[in-house]
Amino acid sequence: MVKITDVARHAGVSPSTVSYALSGKRPISEETRQRVEAAIRELGYRPHAGARALASSRSNVLALVVPLRAGIHVPVVMQFAVSVVTTARRYDHDVLLLTQEEGEDGLRRVADTALVDALIVMDVQLHDPRLPLLRSLERPSVMIGFPAEADGLTCIDLDFKAAGEACVEHLARLGHRVVALVGSPPEVYVRQTAFAQRVVQGFTAAADRGGLSSSVHPCEATPAGARLVAEQLLREQPALTGVVVHNEPVLEPLIDAFEQLGLRVPGDLSVTAICPDELAESVRVPVTSVPLPSAEVGERAVQLLMKKLGGSAVPEATLLPPRMTERASTAPRDA
């Protein structure tokens, strides 16, 4: 193994000079830097991560806790993860993967052993048990999602409440008076997953404000679940003309089910969704949607963490505004 002393000898300088040339923490003359860089290249030098972590008390590794529970859409999780890793690399950091299963112990472990410098936590619940832990940790963290009480913590997410509102307002603008939200599976609400709750809040608030009649329907993430909800809606809400879907796997099956029950989209029923653009576009009837900008959220989460690691203050809450794309699934009522 080639080490920093080898590089130093080869370049005719001291090890500390090599270190400073690498980190830029002290000025090094152009000429010396060149020699050092040449030596590094010729010898194929790679600083030892452990030694570096020990001496600098920085591991340049971030922890990412991914959810693996029922009811969350896996591709979205993966998009987050990839975006986090990619962004972290831009800041010369790596990403350690933790599963929800490891729970609080896992967080504490990687933080206390100095395996990681900072943490990103996904799938936050309104009253998440990890909140006090994150507050007590001596390392910065960012949560993707908003708990009920976020004092002293840093959170970022799509503004799901505004997204719910945007969907309803879009439907209201088109003249719809009776709307329904087809949401996540029941267990997601039972767990009080923050983002699901906020969609409901926004949906309901906007409907009330606009004087619309509204109802909320959890839905199993299967085609069968979709059919069930479609039938139920038809039965219980015959005047229904607008639907908001916040449940990725169910979007296409639900539209199929409506059509099989004789409701044309958007002729009889306008449908909007909160889901990735790819999904919205790939459905037979492209769906007017508010995408969850996972790539942006992941990137911004890492950037927040980097700022915190750099000692800067960051806003406690970052809510990304929803951006709706109109597609073929919504139309004016009585059009």
Partner DNA sequence: GCCAGGCGTCGAAGCGCTTCGACGGAGGAC
Partner DNA sequence: GTCCTCCGTCGAAGCGCTTCGACGCCTGGC
- In angstroms, how far is CA 44 from the centroid of its own chain? 38
Q: How far is the CB of 87 from DNA (least distance, A)?
A: 22
Question: How buried is residue 100: exposed, middle or buried, by Cβ count under 10 Å (0-12/13-18/19+)?
Answer: middle
Distance CA(150)–CA(139), nearest Å, equals: 16
Q: Which two tokens stand for residue 317?
A: 């809450």
DSSP 54-93: HHHS---EEEEEE---TTS-HHHHHHHHHHHHHHHHHTT-
Q: How far is the CB of 139 from DNA (least distance, A)?
A: 15
Residue 252's binding partner out of a copy of itself, DNA, none, with CB under 5 to 8 Å set by partner kind? a copy of itself
Q: How far is the CB of 325 from a copy of itself (least distance, A)?
A: 19
Q: Does residue 98 bind a copy of itself (CB under 8 A)? A: yes
Q: Which residues contact 263 (CB under 8 A, 6 or more apart)?
A: 234, 269
317 strand-pairing partners: 155
The residue from 26, 89, 90, 173 that contacts a copy of itself (CB under 8 A) is 89
Residue 5's binding partner out of a copy of itself, DNA, none, with CB under 5 to 8 Å set by partner kind? DNA
Contact stretch for DNA (CB under 7 A) within 46-54, 65-73, 255-263, 275-283? 46-54
Q: Does residue 270 bind a copy of itself (CB under 8 A)? A: no
Binding site for a copy of itself (CB under 8 A): 44, 46-54, 57, 59, 61, 64, 68, 74-75, 77-78, 81-82, 85-86, 89, 94-99, 101-102, 106, 109-110, 112-115, 222-224, 252, 256, 282-284
Binding site for DNA (CB under 7 A): 1, 3-5, 12-20, 22-23, 25-29, 31-33, 45-48, 51-52, 54-57
